[in-house]
Amino acid sequence: MLALQVLVNGILLGGLYGLMALGMSLIWGVMNIVNIAHGALIMLGAYVTFWLFTLWGWDPFVSLPATIVLLFVYGYCLQRFLLNLIVRAQLFLTLLITFGVEVVMVNLARIVWSSDLRQVTPSYAGASFSVSGLTVPYVRLWVFATTVVLSVLFLLILEKTRLGRAIRATSEELRAARLTGIPVAHIYAVTFGLGAALAGAAGGLWGMLFPITPIMGGGLTLKSFVVAVLGGLGTMMGAVVGGLVLGLAESFTATYLGPTYPNAISFGLLVLILIVRPTGLVGRRS
């Protein structure tokens, strides 16, 4: 029965990891930018949710759309006015600049909001239900449901809407997209905005389950990277699959090996995948 509990925990967590990775995978796949500040965006989303809850009493699930919109605008501006300036630079410089952004964001958060641990604790926070020996906290279940809904919504946008088509066209062939009249600077900014929105949503949901601090993002950036690579770069389904794999791996190692091992496992997985099958579990061999 313990195994089943661990499995369920892994799946619930995995959904959240998948949502996080979707944002990173989108930006990476379309613009070839690995956003080191991804975790900082997640952190920002968590803090927005926290302050909306603490100052105005907004239920964290209810405030999610607001978080999403705010993070979208922030991400759009970041890309449009900063990152668009270095898109054609070598990979290493884009990595470096997103590092700079991360450092600025994290330290601003520390200065403005202090490093105190925050938590979003709505009234239903501790409640859970049991079914055949399994304990499932309500919050985790609803977080999982929300991640599913958001992921599906996002995939629909990407596949079915005109905007989604424009994004996919731009990612495949930038020059051709330009020639067909697609405003690429704007599309890039929208893409980053979407990625930031997804990260922010993930952050808001994360904040309901775990403590919020300015430095929470660092490890999450790496985990998102692991998930994106695990699943296969540029494939959105891959992010979902990868998220589940990581969630399960962490859940099982935490229970059977000890609570200090999950992080080591994720990095170990990363190095393993990069060496053995760099295109990921779902990705196609190029």
Partner 1 sequence: MPPTQWTRAGVAALVVLALSLAPVALSPFLIQFLINLFMLAALAESWNIIGGFTGYASFGNVAFFGIGAYTTGVLLTVLKWPFALALPASGLLAMAFAALVGIPILRLKGHYFAIATLGVAETMREIVYNLKITGGGTGLTMPITKSALPFFYLMFGILVAATAINWWLSASRFGYGLVAIREDEDAAMAMGINAALYKTAAFALSGAFAGLVGGVSAYWITFIDPDGVFKVIITIQMIIMAVFGGMGTVVGPLLGALVLASVSELLSTQLVSLAELFNGLIVILVVLFMPKGLAEVISKREFSLRTLARNLREYRM
What's the alpha-carbon Rg for the chain, to the nearest Å? 18
Residue in the block written with tokens 């279940």: 141
- Measured over the CA atoms of residue 162, residue 152, residue 35 and residue 70, the dihedral's sign is positive
Q: Which is nearer to partner 1, 53 or 76 (CB)?
A: 76
Residue closer to partner 1, measured from CB, 9 or 98: 98
Q: C-beta of 124: minimal distance to partner 1 in Å?
A: 34
What is the nearest approach in angstroms of partner 1 to the Cβ of residue 92?
A: 4
- List Cα–Cα distances, 266 to 32, 42, 51, in angstroms: 23, 19, 31
Give the bridge partners for 212, in sequence order.
Answer: 118
| Residue 268 Cβ vs partner 1, minimum distance, rounded to whole Å | 8
Q: Based on CB atoms, which residue is closest to partner 1, 4 or 108?
A: 108
Do the Cβ atoms of 59 and 227 come closer than 8 Å? no
Q: Are 225 and 24 in contact (CB under 8 A)?
A: yes
User: In whole angstroms, how far apart are CA 225 and each of 76, 179, 185?
Assistant: 21, 32, 25
| Least Cβ distance, residue 234 to partner 1 (angstroms) | 12
Q: Quick one: 147 or 253, whose CB is closer to partner 1?
A: 253
User: In this complex, which beta carbon is closest to partner 1, that of residue 4 or of residue 96?
Assistant: 96
Beta carbon nearer to partner 1, 62 or 93: 93
Closest approach of partner 1 to the CB of residue 103, in Å = 3
**Helix ranges, the chain (H):** 2-31, 38-56, 60-81, 91-113, 138-160, 162-172, 174-179, 184-209, 217-231, 236-256, 262-276
Least separation in angstroms between residue 96's CB and partner 1 is: 5
Residue placing its CB nearer to partner 1 in the complex, 103 or 156: 103
Q: Which DSSP string corresponds to 175-193?
A: HHHHHTT--HHHHHHHHHH
Per-residue CA distances from 102 to 37, 78, 214, 247 (Å): 4, 12, 11, 25
Residues that bind partner 1 (CB under 8 A): 28, 34, 82, 84-89, 91-93, 95-97, 99-104, 106-108, 110-111, 184-185, 188, 218-219, 222, 225, 229, 260, 263-264, 267-268, 270-271, 274-275, 278
In the complex, minimum distance from the CB of residue 69 to partner 1, in angstroms, rounded to a whole number: 25
